Amino acid sequence: MKLKHLLAPATALILAPALGFAQEAAEGAEAAAEVAEAAPGVTPYIFTTLLFLIGGFLVFWMAAGFAMLEAGLVRSKNVTMQLTKNIALFSIAAIMYWLIGFNLMYPGDGWTVPGYVGAIFVPTVLEPVGLGAADAALDYASVGSDFFFQLMFCATTASIVSGTLAERIKLWPFLIFVVVLTGVIYPIEASWQWGGGWLSEMGFSDFAGSTLVHAAGGFAALAGALILGPRIGKYRDGRTVPMPGSNLALATLGTFILWLGWFGFNGGSQLAAGTVGDVTDVSRIFANTNMAAASGAVIALILTQVMYKKPDLTMTLNGALAGLVSITAGPLDPSLFGALWIGAVGGIIVVFTVPMLDKMKIDDVVGAIPVHLLAGIWGTIAVPFYTEGTSFVTQIIGIVAIGIFVFVVSAIVWFILKAVMGIRVSEEDEINGLDMAEMGMEAYPDFTKG
Amino acid sequence: MKLKHLLAPATALILAPALGFAQEAAEGAEAAAEVAEAAPGVTPYIFTTLLFLIGGFLVFWMAAGFAMLEAGLVRSKNVTMQLTKNIALFSIAAIMYWLIGFNLMYPGDGWTVPGYVGAIFVPTVLEPVGLGAADAALDYASVGSDFFFQLMFCATTASIVSGTLAERIKLWPFLIFVVVLTGVIYPIEASWQWGGGWLSEMGFSDFAGSTLVHAAGGFAALAGALILGPRIGKYRDGRTVPMPGSNLALATLGTFILWLGWFGFNGGSQLAAGTVGDVTDVSRIFANTNMAAASGAVIALILTQVMYKKPDLTMTLNGALAGLVSITAGPLDPSLFGALWIGAVGGIIVVFTVPMLDKMKIDDVVGAIPVHLLAGIWGTIAVPFYTEGTSFVTQIIGIVAIGIFVFVVSAIVWFILKAVMGIRVSEEDEINGLDMAEMGMEAYPDFTKG
Amino acid sequence: MKLKHLLAPATALILAPALGFAQEAAEGAEAAAEVAEAAPGVTPYIFTTLLFLIGGFLVFWMAAGFAMLEAGLVRSKNVTMQLTKNIALFSIAAIMYWLIGFNLMYPGDGWTVPGYVGAIFVPTVLEPVGLGAADAALDYASVGSDFFFQLMFCATTASIVSGTLAERIKLWPFLIFVVVLTGVIYPIEASWQWGGGWLSEMGFSDFAGSTLVHAAGGFAALAGALILGPRIGKYRDGRTVPMPGSNLALATLGTFILWLGWFGFNGGSQLAAGTVGDVTDVSRIFANTNMAAASGAVIALILTQVMYKKPDLTMTLNGALAGLVSITAGPLDPSLFGALWIGAVGGIIVVFTVPMLDKMKIDDVVGAIPVHLLAGIWGTIAVPFYTEGTSFVTQIIGIVAIGIFVFVVSAIVWFILKAVMGIRVSEEDEINGLDMAEMGMEAYPDFTKG
């Protein structure tokens, strides 16, 4: 019975051209050709919709990955808070992207400042699907599936910020920042490229978001880290005090989750799966994505062994993630060898810049700035090595433009939040841990602290 | 080579009408139309089968979600037991649903009491697929995929029970209850609606099981909780003693897993993916499901901040789950705004009813009754707000009927188990923890207890 | 726009035969038939490619499952090391299988020793996709998707080894072994069957790799365990000293992850999803795989209750895994009842052989030899019960051949590694734990050790 939902219109769609030409017997072959041409229109729509849904649930899963990674890399006294931030930021992103973000990012004919700022209105809250201008625009996939998929990228951008600022930022100012980031900042800068704005006009290329998602999240995190300052005791007498993560099993799980989710992140960004060419491309993207992660992990493992005489698990995890971020701007065109070396450079960047940030006293609890901002920039710059029609200059212009926009706007928001309500917990609360101070709830109440 | 498995019959199916009419050249166009009409029959079958398989493995994943959620919310001395219950209950459900449940739930022409009790026989244990009456009935998808998908819903019902009764119930009586629940109770009440029984005749509407799965599991849990009694020391001098969960990272992971699995739970319940209309519907379901979870989480976070001055992570997790349960009865028809407020009401229900249950001294360790029973009832009642052809009265009749049936039969089974073998561990074992007493194995032997 | 990527060639493919015959009106019907025959060629390609991609990411997820299972079953002082090994071995497998393995396993016309050793060259590192001889061979799915899928099986083989040898093997010798295993040993033995080598010629049948993957990994692990020796203190005065795993929640999570991934492992091994017959087969495989896991878990739970008076969680987890391994050689042909008893025998094998191995002083930390080697052999032997055209004798010949090859070559590699660089950590390091000694990083630094 369910099968008949659309059988009438679908059949009509298929048969329309056939019947239109079926005046004479001599036109039979032509009709057959028409049928063959028309029929695929239905299945590509289905395939592409499924790509969005499957890709979307994989990217959703990355929210869990960030939560586990960050919960594993903070000290046990701040784990409940970090978990709360992660589930809350995803939920807020889901609401804000619907309320403002999606229409702002895909304005259709509704640009407020053409090419720069999309449609700032919320017209369709009460409509059946409520997805506004973009609704009519899609004929190659369900708009609901597209919304679902794109929303996940918006949420990812916010996830990146929470790791850097962990262990000292207050919950509510952070969540208010997330409201602005997911409702306004991300949709505007992403619209410049994916909404058909000025960067896409210019020839900037960022397939799945090395810059639009990862570096953007990194810039927002960097602004926050500078304004928030490092954790108490992190930098003492010119020395960096290690504050080891409380649960490396969780951190590893988080990395595996992110790796898995990235197949959806990059593969789904093909935005089409209805032809032989498209699924072949999606397959290449899967293979390249995997390769970049693998080479990022291996190089970080080897480098830490060579440099510090001890292989470093958290560096290896971040190496894998940096490999993933690096390939994200151009996962389709490189050969597997290309993915290998692009990912490896990402891993190298992490190993060298994590201590560099510490020297600059920028306290990034989970290493999100090296992984997402720096490897994201690298990946975006690397695109012209393999993708025809792109140029290093244009890539750099795009990175700089997005970087300035996100960093400046984020900094303004952080400053306002700091002035209005304060963004940092008290010294006492920070030392005691945010879990008891802000939440009244420990993550591991049964385990004695060492 | 593999491609040829069914090439012969599949081609025959496609070509049959074409060849039938290909007597004369003049019939060519007609033949082409026939081909176009016939060919889609193959791909919808494939798409719908894939929907069942992908939806099914996502719902399978929810079994892991319940295991992690519950293991995280019990005290560390009961974790091994809770894990054992979860993997065992899923395994038992898989066997019982095959042995009895599936045929009982989808009796085809084999109703024993038409509309009320399905076919009570086990005829096909040794047949190739062994799925009985339903086997012949499906022509829109593989019966194996349907069995796989439906089985997961049966297992979910059992998962709900284990959380409520944690930390004091004996392993084997609990598992025997699972045998009855998954083999008999769930299949009978579910057949009333999804097997074409009297509730579906009456116009009751429960798209993916707010009542048939979640409230049903909740009613079974409630019966057990009343008969089993609260944990020792939980209610003392009119006060509720907090017994905090041992691992909130696991609990959060479990919630994310459940949220992910729910896309399969609700999306797969479209039961068709072979047309533009069906995948568009599946997409709306995905978007609505996500929105309801997000709003349930946000509202619970805000409410606990306002009411208790501290945001509460476990309430937020349960808020997300309550949002998911709430939208499950009608995830297709509401707008995103509809999903938002329906989910939010679910979150509100959780925040207010968790302490209420405690006041009634009903000890529900993980909050499964508020989340699955109460939000499930709410979601079922809310269906007529958006779904045409449904009525509040009919919805309430369905809820009451299922509630009475599941609660009474469950209570009888619990009483029999209590009389025959006892369902509660000894006081000493409960205080020492079920892990050492019943299992002889700690979940975290290396970590000193606080 | 994306939709048009391949529209031209795809349409050409569809229309080619139609146009070729469209000389006269009388040929219209014939053309229609040709179209019908040709058009499905596009969608099966897409479906099968998606099967590889979805199956592939599910099997990827198994790498996380092994990591969690093993991290949960080692003592807390060795957790960081075990996590490092798991992420590193997967990454190495990804690189080696591309560099050597894939071409060696699927040599096309490039056999070096026909039927026994594939093409030993690395010709295509710099090519667009870089997948060599097999590239041209595939016309039913994307070669990239096939590579992605097959790579995951290679990595799985290595994952099996790491668990057995945990808590005493040095990191780098282990990883060098992984290089050889994933680059050479696995691809050669797997090519005997899946690359069209002598075993497939002979009629050996191993659908998804009970022997080619699981027993092979087990043989490599066994060789290592014998050469490496047991952990210090494991066998004392003729007694086996229990060394309980540090985190059974993680171990359970790992088992659920593996169970989930196995749907991709077995289901994807159908290698086709473009016809009604193929997806129906995939569905049967899903249902059978789930049933075998369930029955393996239940039987292990019951047996440990009966034999030891205490149900055993780790045995139950390993029972589920043994059920999965057992059904892997023939997941398609058995009825659900067949899957039930085949999986149950796997569970029984585990319960009886775990203590047997201890009696032989073969120290297998996570039980990988019973689960993967012994249940893998069982599953391979069981194939002829349900699969026509197979024979017990041929099955045994295949198992013995692969066993000897993998065991002997692995032993040689282990001996060389032992002679050249040593494979075992110092006694002091082993007692203190590998995490501090080799890594300088604890997995759970905040939790006091008991």
The pLDDT of residue C38 = 42
pLDDT of residue A198: 96
Mean pLDDT, range B388-417, rounded to an integer: 98
pLDDT given at position C16 = 28
How far apart are alpha carbons C225 and C235 in whole angstroms? Answer: 14
Distances (CA, A) of A334 to A329, A340, B232, C64: 11, 9, 63, 27
Same domain, C20 and C150: no
Q: Which of A34, A74, A87, A150 to mutate to test the interface with B (most CBs of B within 10 A)?
A: A87
pLDDT tens track of chain A, all 450 residues?
A: 222 222 223 222 222 222 222 233 334 444 444 444 444 478 999 999 999 999 999 999 999 999 999 999 999 999 999 999 999 999 999 999 999 899 899 887 778 888 888 877 654 443 444 444 444 546 889 999 999 999 999 999 999 999 999 999 999 999 999 999 999 999 999 999 999 999 999 999 999 999 999 999 999 999 999 999 999 999 999 899 999 999 999 999 999 999 999 999 999 999 999 999 999 999 999 999 999 999 999 999 999 999 999 999 999 999 999 999 999 999 999 999 999 999 999 999 999 999 999 999 999 999 999 999 999 999 999 999 999 999 999 999 999 999 999 999 999 999 999 999 999 999 999 999 999 999 999 999 998 765
The one-letter code for the residue type at C25 is A
Lowest mean per-residue pLDDT among A333-337, B118-122, B124-128, C23-27: C23-27
Helices within A230-360 (DSSP H only): 248-267, 276-308, 313-328, 336-359
Assess whether B10 and B127 both reside in one domain: no
Q: Measure the CA–CA gap between B272 and B132, rounded to whole angstroms.
A: 22
One domain, residues C285 and C167? yes
CATH number, position B399: 1.10.3430.10
Looking at the fold, whether A242 and A324 belong to one and the same domain comes out as yes
Q: Do C25 and A30 touch (CB under 8 A)?
A: no
Bridge partners of residue A239, in order along the sequence: A236
Contact A126 B335 (CB under 8 A): yes
Residue B450 inside a domain? The answer is no
Closest CA to A140 of A43, A17, A282: A43
Q: What is the dihedral of CA B412, B417, B422, B423, to 10 degrees?
A: -80
C418 class by beta-carbon count within 10 Å (0-12 exposed, 13-18 middle, 19+ buried)? middle
Q: How far apart are CA A318 and CA A248, in angstroms?
A: 12
Of A448, A442, A246, A77, which Cα lies nearest the Cα of C448?
A448
One-letter amino acid for residue C129 of the chain: V
Rg (CA), chain A: 24
The pLDDT value given to residue B310: 95
* B150 pLDDT higher than 50: yes
pLDDT at B440: 92
**Chain A hits for B247, Cβ within 8 Å:** 443-444
Cβ-nearest to A287 among C86, C144, C438: C144
Task: Give the separation between CA C395 and CA C407, rounded to whole angstroms.
Answer: 18
**Strands B235-236 and A239-240, bridge-based pairing:** unpaired
pLDDT digits (tens, 9 = 90+) for C311-328: 999 999 999 999 999 999
For residues C34 and C50, state if they share a domain: no
pLDDT higher than threshold 70 for residue B4: no
Helices (H), A74-142: 79-96, 102-105, 134-137
In a domain, B447, yes or no: no
Query: Does the residue B319 lie in any domain?
Result: yes
ipTM: 0.91
Rounded Cα distance, C396 and C409, in Å: 20
| Helix segments in B309-391, DSSP class H | 313-327, 336-359, 368, 375-382
Alpha helices in B138-242 (DSSP H): 143-164, 171-180, 186-193, 198-202, 216-228
Residue C243 located in a structural domain: yes
Nearest to A374, CA basis, from A358, A359, A352: A352
Q: Nearest 5°: phi and psi at B447?
A: -100, 120
B442 torsion bin: left (phi>0), alpha (psi -120 to 50), beta (else): beta
Q: Which of the four pLDDT bands, split at 50, 70 and 90, describes residue B449?
A: low
Q: Are C130 and A270 in contact (CB under 8 A)?
A: no
Name the band, by pLDDT with cuts 50, 70 and 90, for residue B208.
very high
Residues of chain C with pLDDT under 50: 1-39, 123-137, 450
Cβ distance of B32 and A27 shorter than 8 Å:
no
Q: Is position C301 within any domain?
A: yes
Cβ C32–A35 below 8 Å, yes or no?
yes
Distance CA A301, CA C185 (A): 24
Q: How many CB atoms lie within 10 A of CB B240?
A: 16
Q: Which helix (H) or strand (E) holds B236?
A: strand B235-236
B444 assigned to some structural domain: no
Q: How far apart are CA C268 and CA C262, in angstroms?
A: 9
Looking at the structure, do residues B77 and B215 belong to the same domain, yes or no?
yes
As a whole number of angstroms, the distance between CA C330 and CA C296 comes to 16
CB contact under 8 A, C443 and A248: yes
Question: How is residue B205 annotated by DSSP?
Answer: -
> Residues B338, B323: contact at Cβ < 8 Å?
no
How far is residue C406's CA from residue C180's CA, in Å, rounded to a whole number? 11
Only one residue has tokens 């939000």, namely B375
What does the pLDDT read at residue B34? 43
Give the mutation candidate from B77, B260, B446, B449 for the C interface (greatest C CB count, under 10 A).
B446
Question: Chain C partners of A274 at a C-beta cutoff of 8 Å?
Answer: 3, 46
> Is residue B258 located within the same domain as residue B297?
yes
Chain B residues touching residue A147 (CB < 8 angstroms) = 287
C71 contacts C434 by C-beta, under 8 angstroms:
no
Same domain, C246 and C281: yes
Considering the domain architecture, whether residues B22 and B149 belong to the same structural domain is answered as no
Closest CA to A186 of A165, A230, A156, A207: A156
User: Taking 70 as the threshold, does the pLDDT of residue B10 lie above it?
Assistant: no
What's the pLDDT at B121?
61
Q: What is chain C's alpha carbon radius of gyration, rounded to the nearest angstrom? A: 23
Q: Using a CB-CB distance cutoff of 8 angstroms, which residues of chain B are in contact with residue A29?
A: 28
Tokens 């997941």 map to which residue?
A: C331
Structure tokens at A392: 């290093």
Cα distance from C250 to chain A (closest Cα, Å)? Answer: 8
Q: How many CA atoms lie within 13 A of A316 on its CB side?
A: 29
Structure tokens at C321: 């895994």
Separation in Å, CA of C248 to nearest CA in chain B:
5
The domain tally of chain A equals 2
Looking at chain B, which subunits does it touch, using at least 3 CB pairs closer than 8 Å as the criterion? A, C
Q: B216-228 vs B143-164: helix axis angle to the nearest 10?
A: 30
How far apart CA B90 and CA B154 sit, in angstroms, is 9
- Other C-beta atoms closer than 10 Å to the C-beta of C426 total 11
C450 occurs within a structural domain = no
- Identify the burial level of A1 via C-beta atoms within 10 angstroms of its C-beta, where 0-12 means exposed, 13-18 middle and 19 or more buried: exposed
Residue A276: the pLDDT is 93
What distance in Å separates the CA atoms of residue C376 and residue C398, rounded to the nearest whole number?
Answer: 12
Rounded to an integer, what is the distance from CA B166 to the centroid of its chain? 19
CB count within 10 Å of CB B196 equals 17
- Do C133 and C24 lie in one domain? The reply is no
The answer to the question of residue C347 being in a domain is yes
Measure the CA–CA gap between A348 and C131, rounded to whole angstroms: 26
Phi, psi for residue B16 in degrees, rounded to 5: -45, -55
The predicted model gives B106-118 an average pLDDT of 85
For residues C7 and C73, membership in a common domain is answered with no
Please name the amino acid found at residue B340. L
Domain that holds residue B36: 2-40
8 Å CB contact between C106 and C191: yes
Residues in chain A closer than 8 A to B295 (CB atoms): 91, 95
| DSSP characters over A204-252 | ---SS-IIIIIIHHHHHHHHHHHHH-PPTTSEETTEEPP---S-HHHHH
Q: Among the listed ranges A33-47, A353-367, B156-170, B375-389, which one has the minimum average pLDDT value? A: A33-47
What pLDDT does residue C15 have?
Answer: 28
What's the pLDDT band for B122 if we cut at 50, 70, 90? low
Residue B169: strand pairing partners = B424
Report field, pTM of the whole predicted structure over 0.95? no
Calculate how close chain A gets to B71, using CA atoms only, in Å.
12
Integer-rounded Cα Rg, in Å, for chain B is 24
Asked whether residue A32 falls in the same domain as residue A180, the answer is no
- Rounded CA-CA distance C404/C91 in Å is 27
The Cα A27–Cα A396 span in angstroms is 55
Helix/strand/coil for A312:
coil
